[in-house]
Amino acid sequence: MKKIILLLLLSISATAFAQKLERIEPMYWWVGMKNPKLQLLVHGDRIADLGVTLNYPGVKLVAINKVENPNYLFLDLEISESAAAGKFPIVFTKAGKKLLQHVYELKQKSTKAERIQGVNSSDLIYLLMPDRFSNGDPKNDVVKGMQETKLNRDSMYFRHGGDLQGLINKLDYLKDLGVTAIWMTPEIENDMANASYHGYAATDHYKIDPRYGNLELYKSFVDKVHEKGMKVVKDIVHNHVGTGHWFYKDMPMKDWVNQWPVYTQTSYRDEPVMDPHASKADQKKMLDGWFVPSMPDLNQRNPYVQNYLTQNHIWWVEDAGIDGLRLDTYPYNDPDYMRDWAIKIKAEFPTLSIFGETLVNSAAAQAFFTGGNTVSRGFDTELPGVTDAVLKNAIYEALNGKSGWTDGIFRLYTTVAQDFLYQDASRNVIFLDNHDMSRFYSMVKEDFDKYKSGMALLLTLRGIPQMYYGTEILMKNYSDPDGLVRSDFPGGWPADKTDKFSAAGRSAQENEAWNFVRTLANYRKNSPALQHGKMMQYVPENGMYTYFRYLPEGGKTVMVIVNTDDQAKTLETSRFEERIGQASSATNVITKEKINALKTIAVPAKTTLVLELI
């Protein structure tokens, strides 16, 4: 009997010490980083009960941090300049005995200067949702063990099967169109029960969603994009995660996310963040309120959360060689943290481009969030650029509104005139629509002339133009009530009846739209004036708005004339002598027609002319 009890006690004791190491993140790191500090998140059953040792030249274990949840340890490491790339064991002990061991790897940071190219005003960004663009690998449509167990292409709220391989298969299509940079909505794991196809409810920060592919395929995608002379923008989310996230199910500490006595949703009002008269309560609701019930709001004042997010983003850029980052829901994040984040990211990757989503209502509000604006908040956000929703609204007003002192075409002129608010407005991403709003073609009431005029504005105004997938083939629909703005690209699935990736599958008008975009986008790709040139605009007169893109040191000048009226007009050009200079003729960039005299120019109704001066 005593022997049985002894064996039982030994069995219980062995079970008590059989801790399991679930994960260490980041999974690997690099020597040669500017910041020598690295904080490893260690997760496992009662892992905090164990001691930790490591022995590797140039790597020092500075601190072992225990937190509220005993299933976590946060290990502070310092990696000296002398540390070499290699592998070393992290040993977990109990009462001096080794119980667990994890072999950690330090890789050599890339020294290839041109690897991370950056995205700038020379580029045309193509935004797409990978689930809705093209299905290149039907075998990963449904992945066993994930919460969503089927496809439903008849619903906008379920997965449709698009993936990374599908996008890789269409890279030549995008390059031919004139695209130079590709931005996908987040491709990391979103293992939620439904409506997670969009990618903004992360459940694992270090894993590509298996329904899109895997890490190796993603890195292969980046390499193939670079081989074709294009760039990659990664969409990242600081503000929130999905309720299915592994660390939300077992949080390191209560304040890992912003907690409220009862569920509190953000007000979605950005004004309290910048309002010098705002109440603390309004600011807190905006910044700490949850975006939706299925997306917990991360507490970015928590230093462990800060380290986790910043290191994750550094990890992705270094591991995959990404060229730019788009920051989701930028105004909802903690301002002090976002400044610190930007400083650390730019220190590691000086050529990386960054722009934040700021769907606000004025140029002043946009400028408040951009770098160089220290008057309002007393510090520099270090954010290079924003998504220019104010310019988007001004373009719509120009195309759809009636001219008044501040309305119609004057809204666009006035908006551009406020560029003095920005450190550099050319770093703003300009756009006509995206995955969260009604499509451009529907917003101009399917008026094809307005469509072409708007696309001409997008591709000739200052800034970095971004086009939403399908705009080039006149995809339409409104964001409410059915979310049809996220419809599949026709031809991206083998069973599709039409293939609009091919000219043969497009209607005559769709081909005209596609060729219009292709012609202007490829012209822009070879026009220093449109890519990096200065802009000079003139006060609109007689319902027409004229601006020039040019290089101060000389070269070709592009003249853009916008007529938003329903009637054709004639433009007298004598007032533009400052910019026209000695030019005596021009070529229509779209039609290739030559204009032999510039004293007067005929401008058709609802047309934007793009002219290269000769």
CB 452 within 8 A of CB 474: no
Three-state SS for 79-96 is ECCCCCCEEEEEEEEECC
**189-193 contacts, C-beta under 8 A, 24 or more apart:** 190/242, 190/244, 191/146, 191/147, 191/148, 191/242, 191/244, 192/147, 192/148, 192/242, 192/243, 192/244, 192/294, 193/147, 193/148, 193/244
Kindly state the tokens that stand for 367.
């400028």
235 is catalytic: no
User: Which residue in the list 189, 357, 382, 419 is annotated as catalytic?
Assistant: 357
CA-nearest of 367, 385, 365, 360 to 274 is 365
Token pair listed for 509: 């008008």
Q: What angle do CA 361, 364, 365 make, to 5 degrees?
A: 50
CA distance 197 to 132: 9
Distances in Å between the alpha carbon of 413 and those of 211, 332, 541? 45, 30, 11
Q: Is position 340 annotated as part of the catalytic site? A: no
DSSP 541: B
The pair of structure tokens assigned to 23 is 């994960």
Q: Closest by alpha carbon to 522, among 612, 461, 590?
A: 590
Instruction: Give the residue among 135, 178, 136, 181 at the shortest CA–CA distance from 160.
Output: 135
In angstroms, rounded to a whole number, what is the distance separating the alpha carbons of residues 399 and 446? Answer: 12
Q: Report residue 171 as tokens.
A: 């890279």
Catalytic residue among 148, 189, 323, 328: 328
- Give the residue carrying structure tokens 């200079």: 581
Phi, psi angles (nearest 5°) of residue 394: -70, -35
The H-assigned helical ranges of 228-362 are 246-249, 271-274, 280-288, 303-320, 335-348
Which residues are annotated as catalytic?
328, 357
